[in-house]
Amino acid sequence: MLAVLLLALGGLPVCTPAPSPAVGSWSQSERLANPRDDFGLVVLSGKLWALGGMSGSRGNVLGSVESFEPSVGRWSPGPAMPTPRSSAGVAALDGLIYVVGGLAEGGEVSAAVEAFDARSGLWTRRAPLPTPRMQLAAVPVDGTIWAIGGNTGGPAIGAVEVYDPTTDRWSASESLPTPRYGLAAAVFEDKVFVVGGQTPRGPLPTVEVATPGRARWEPGPPLPEGLSRLGLAVLGRNLHALEGSSHFRLGSGARAWDAAPPSPTPRHGLSAAALGDRLFAVGGCSADWIDVPVNEVYRAG
């Protein structure tokens, strides 16, 4: 079982992004059937899968699932989640999609963990999350799933818990040095990058990085500005972070993020995923708090 010993972080200056050497461009793709924000987006079996989230002026919690196959060019409905949720952690591992925690109907902060098998179309319940929370990040790491940060309906937390699907058990790890919610996480260059998020004081530029097996966290290159409820994805040899009108890229081995072309539709609560040579920025909520079904595609120049 992976264990992570976290190292207290010193402050790092926020860097001004350098001009992007590779311009890249955006285009429009098939829109979601159901507008949503604060949902999960993963890649499995050559498709994008959008799961849960919320929609509507009152933030109706969704259990609906849609999949998008680029070669077909349309979204198709999938089996709904047993427990509708927004702001959950979502990760794909060994042919299954795991939905972890989140905000359930009635404002309940959930501990539910459910796994979806795209081959059979069936959902199964798994061992619940030891610390119920929402606005967390979930990321697959060396055959396990890490549930990172979030909040329990109050202050930001830094809890890190690791799920082993072979035993259906969770184990506690050391907490993040910077407790936060609305964060994102991805494996980039064989390390776990935890990016952005916020506390009640506002969005954070903080990046913290762990190398599995080395038992410590270290500070990573900070974002040029604080981002929360962001999309995060690895495209080729670059890690991309998107939120609002901001799009930043961290290159392999780079010490600072550079600016990349922003998506045509500014929004928060979106999700991002890379499939082939394309980065998809899907859904989210516009500045006037209207959920948008957009699906915009970025190709590096």
Spans of all domains in the chain? 34-228
Q: Tell me if 56 sits within 8 A of 65, measured CB to CB.
A: no
Stretch 156-183: mean pLDDT: 95
Q: Which residues contact 75 (CB under 8 A, 6 or more apart)?
A: 30, 31, 32, 33, 50, 66, 67, 68
Distance, CA of 143 to CA of 141 (rounded, Å) = 6
pLDDT in tens, 183-213: 999 999 999 999 999 999 999 999 999 988 7
Q: Tell me if 227 sits within 8 A of 246, measured CB to CB.
A: yes
CATH 3.30.70.980 fits 34-228, yes or no: no
Distance, CA of 6 to CA of 179 (rounded, Å) = 12
Of 116, 133, 134, residue with least CA distance to 125: 116
pLDDT in tens, 102-119: 999 999 999 999 999 999
| High-pLDDT (> 70) share of the chain, % | 91
pLDDT in tens, 283-297: 999 988 889 999 999
Distance, CA of 158 to CA of 148 (rounded, Å) = 7
User: Which pLDDT band holds residue 10 (cuts at 50, 70, 90)?
Assistant: very low
